[in-house]
């Protein structure tokens, strides 16, 4: 492997380019017309324009991206996250043209992309799953044993897309029809399954890494409960308050799934966790590097993106499980160009000033500089502030100071929101769950003057 095409934009493209540099790999960037001057295009050895910005064009255009990779002599493609990372067709197109796809096989992507098949596999392996339908749900009779409230999920969905809560049996019929037609429209597949809806749970996920030689390790878990409408806002590693027994069980469950599909590369196995009982259940597996991977890197000292590239090149995972040591506590705050007080409305525009914090235990992953335009076509992530400290209170203190020092002008950001989270007694006690941001209305706006 000599030359890698980075099929993404923003901070993750910059992150992947830096990993390529560290490994002495040449890098080709792609960009839309809106991203002509973007940092990732300037950091790469070469940059290829793949068309006009909105959906379907540019970063999602499989034929253009494959042609760009072949035309620039690349032998590998890193998809980053989002866009094409979990598109089995894209992974297959790369393979067909002799390009290494930095990620798992198209078969593993396809299996885990079928959320119902993944759930069945987990159950077969003895991994706890939420009580639910045995297979696809077509009529009310198929959910008779599930109980209410229940959650209808699209088999081709994932990440919370296409989910519907049903609170009683009389609502089931119409909700089922709506869910199926929405899923058909959004994913081209109307298959629906049902699970008991667990409320006020925590969202905990395990990072795994596996190679083509059958070695699979885990790198501990992350807690991603602090989110709003399935957009994560703050993540941490390790998960607060999780005992060593449960932690080990979660990791073993995740590794069992990875091994069962002969997983290759970095992947994330998601669970819901009931904080009171510490009972957990498998939800889905994401077959890509995730936005929040740096918190894992900060507590393990492992560079996940470099290891993705090395594993894709055919190298074995260079660590044994007992070599992975979790030290300290890390927190990531997503700094988005959004207005929390207006329902987290995206705020595209021109970043006029940008001064990120720096110092011991502070890392900022970003593609933004003073003068960077934030186009309206893409997600609003400006930067990830990641801090590490010897324990959770130390990490919280460090995150607070770093947020105070983080200056952005020209667009509204989520910095103030994070400062309020880090001062909130529920957060400090580790008492957050997936509905918490929506329940705590005061987080969205500054406290009124006394």
By CB under 6 A, name the binding residues for ligand MV4: 130, 151, 159-160, 195-198, 201, 203, 227, 230, 270, 272, 283-284, 434
Alpha helices in 195-331 (DSSP H): 244-260, 293-300, 304-312
Helix (H) or strand (E) holding 280: strand 279-286
Identity of the residue, 191 or 434, whose beta carbon is nearer to ligand MV4 in the bound complex: 434
- The DSSP bridge partners found for residue 274 are 279
Helix, strand, coil content of the chain in percent (nearest 5): 35, 25, 40
Find, among 157, 160, 146, 156, the residue nearest to 195 by Cα. 146
Residue 430 Ramachandran class (φ > 0 left, ψ -120 to 50 alpha, else beta) = left
| Distance between CA atoms of residues 45 and 397, nearest Å | 39
- Cβ-proximal residues to 184 (8 Å cutoff; 6+ apart), any chain: 190
Distances (CA, A) of 26 to 77, 240, 309, 426: 12, 40, 12, 47
- Long-range contact pairs involving 434-440 (C-beta distance under 8 Å, separation at least 24): 434/200, 434/201, 434/202, 434/203, 434/225, 434/227, 434/272, 435/199, 435/200, 436/225, 436/226, 437/226, 437/227, 437/228, 437/233, 438/228, 438/229
Query: What angle (nearest 5°) sits at the alpha carbon of residue 84, between those of residues 122 and 373?
Result: 130
- Asked if 288 is an active-site residue, the reply is yes
Identity of the residue, 159 or 430, whose beta carbon is nearer to ligand MV4 in the bound complex: 159
Distances (CA, A) of 435 to 228, 252, 381: 8, 27, 22
Distances (CA, A) of 158 to 61, 140, 192, 287: 22, 23, 12, 11
Identity of the residue, 17 or 121, whose beta carbon is nearer to ligand MV4 in the bound complex: 121
Answer whether 450's CB lies under 8 Å from 255's CB: no
Find, among 222, 211, 205, the residue nearest to 266 by Cα. 211
Identity of the residue, 64 or 231, whose beta carbon is nearer to ligand MV4 in the bound complex: 231
249 prior amide bond cis, ω within 30: no
Answer whether 363's CB lies under 8 Å from 386's CB: yes
| Distance between CA atoms of residues 206 and 134, nearest Å | 25
| Distance between CA atoms of residues 430 and 432, nearest Å | 6
Answer whether 374's CB lies under 8 Å from 411's CB: yes
Residue 432: helix, strand or coil by DSSP? Answer: coil
Query: Which residues belong to the active site?
Result: 288
């Amino acid at each position: 492997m000599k030359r890698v095409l980075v099929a993404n934009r923003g901070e993750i493209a910059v992150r992947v380019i830096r990993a390529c540099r560290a490994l002495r790999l040449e890098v080709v960037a792609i960009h839309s017309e809106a991203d002509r001057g973007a940092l990732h295009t300037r950091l790469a050895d070469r940059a290829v324009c793949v068309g006009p910005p909105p959906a379907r064009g540019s970063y999602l255009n499989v034929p253009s991206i494959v042609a760009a990779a072949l035309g620039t002599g690349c032998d590998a493609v890193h998809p980053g996250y989002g866009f094409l990372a979990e598109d089995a067709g894209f992974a297959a197109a790369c393979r067909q043209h002799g390009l290494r796809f930095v990620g798992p096989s198209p078969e593993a992507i396809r299996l885990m992309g079928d959320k119902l098949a993944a759930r069945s596999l987990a159950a077969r392996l003895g991994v706890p799953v939420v009580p639910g339908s045995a297979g696809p749900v077509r009529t009310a009779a198929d959910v008779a044993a599930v109980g209410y409230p229940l959650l209808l999920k699209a088999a081709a969905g994932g990440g919370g897309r296409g989910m519907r809560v049903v609170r009683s049996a009389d609502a089931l019929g119409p909700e089922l029809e709506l869910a199926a037609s929405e899923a058909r429209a959004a994913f081209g597949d109307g298959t629906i399954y049902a699970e008991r809806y667990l409320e006020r749970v925590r969202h905990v996920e395990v990072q795994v890494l596996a190679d083509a030689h059958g070695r699979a390790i885990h790198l501990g878990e992350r807690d991603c409960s602090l989110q709003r409408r399935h957009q994560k806002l703050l993540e941490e590693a390790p998960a607060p308050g999780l005992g060593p027994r449960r932690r080990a069980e979660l990791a073993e469950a995740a590794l069992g799934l990875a091994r069962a599909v002969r997983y290759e590369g970095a992947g994330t196995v998601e669970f819901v966790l009931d904080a009171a009982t510490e009972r957990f259940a498998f939800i889905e597996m994401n077959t890509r590097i995730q936005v929040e991977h740096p918190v894992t890197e900060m507590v393990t000292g492992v560079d996940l993106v470099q290891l993705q590239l090395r594993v894709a090149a055919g190298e074995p995972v260079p660590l044994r499980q007992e070599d992975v040591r979790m030290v300290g506590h890390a927190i990531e705050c997503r700094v988005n160009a959004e207005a929390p007080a207006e329902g987290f409305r995206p705020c595209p525009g021109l970043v006029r000033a940008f001064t990120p914090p720096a110092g011991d235990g502070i890392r900022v992953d970003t593609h933004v500089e003073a003068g960077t335009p934030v186009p309206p076509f893409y997600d609003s992530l400006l930067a990830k502030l990641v801090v590490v400290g010897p324990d959770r209170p130390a990490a919280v203190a460090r995150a607070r100071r770093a947020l105070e020092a983080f200056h952005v002008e020209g667009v509204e950001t989520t910095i103030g929101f994070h400062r309020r989270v880090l001062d909130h007694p529920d957060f400090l006690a580790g008492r957050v769950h997936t509905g918490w941001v929506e329940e705590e209305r005061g987080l969205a706006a500054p406290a009124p003057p006394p």
